[in-house]
């Protein structure tokens, strides 16, 4: 996957997560997007050199990034994480912020992307974090 394709998938997943979150939240979501990047390190290494691993990523969190900054950080050696869970975290008058929880395994093999079968590459759209005592069908504030 090229950097441009990765950016395209990030933007597409952002809009899908945005539309999905609108079904659940009262907040007015805007289309100026920011990202919080949560990096993890793969713990179940199988001994093969199938994936690139970056141990220095352990517990790294980067806040308030643009889409291009996310791509610059995650696109390494022409490889990207095998999965990236995206969800709306918060909303302000100016921006909607997403959490990106990323696998610590990096690959350039599209067949290894967890969500590739649905066309979103490594991106798995998740719902916003539901409040305690959430009642189905009732919208809540982020």
Listed in order, strand segments (DSSP E) in 26-134 are 33-39, 52-53, 61-65, 80-81, 84-91, 96-102, 105-107, 123-125
Alpha carbons 139 and 142: distance in angstroms, whole number: 10
Q: pLDDT (tens digit, 0 to 9) for every residue of the chain, 142 residues total?
A: 999 999 999 999 999 999 999 999 999 999 999 999 999 886 655 566 788 888 888 889 999 999 999 999 999 999 999 999 999 999 999 999 999 999 999 999 999 999 988 888 999 999 999 999 899 989 999 9
CA distances to 22, 23, 33, 44, 109 from 38, in Å: 23, 25, 16, 18, 22
pLDDT of residue 118: 84
CA distances to 46, 73, 138 from 66, in Å: 33, 11, 31
| Whole-prediction pTM | 0.92
N-terminal to C-terminal alpha carbon distance within the chain: 34
pLDDT of residue 50: 84
In this structure, are residues 136 and 55 in contact, taking their beta carbons and an 8 Å threshold?
no
């Amino acid at each position: 996957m090229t950097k441009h394709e990765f950016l395209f998938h990030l933007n597409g997943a952002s809009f899908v997560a945005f539309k999905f979150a609108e079904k659940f939240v009262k907040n007015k979501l805007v289309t100026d997007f920011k990202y919080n990047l949560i990096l993890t390190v793969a713990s179940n290494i199988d001994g093969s050199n199938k994936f690139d691993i970056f141990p220095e990523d352990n517990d790294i969190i980067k806040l308030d990034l643009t889409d291009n900054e996310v791509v610059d950080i995650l696109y390494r050696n022409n490889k990207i994480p095998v999965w990236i869970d995206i969800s709306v975290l918060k909303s302000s008058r100016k921006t909607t912020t997403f959490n990106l929880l990323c696998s610590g395994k990096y690959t350039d093999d599209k067949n290894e992307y967890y969500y590739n079968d649905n066309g979103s590459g490594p991106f798995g759209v998740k719902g916003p974090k539901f409040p305690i005592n959430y009642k189905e069908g009732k919208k809540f504030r982020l």
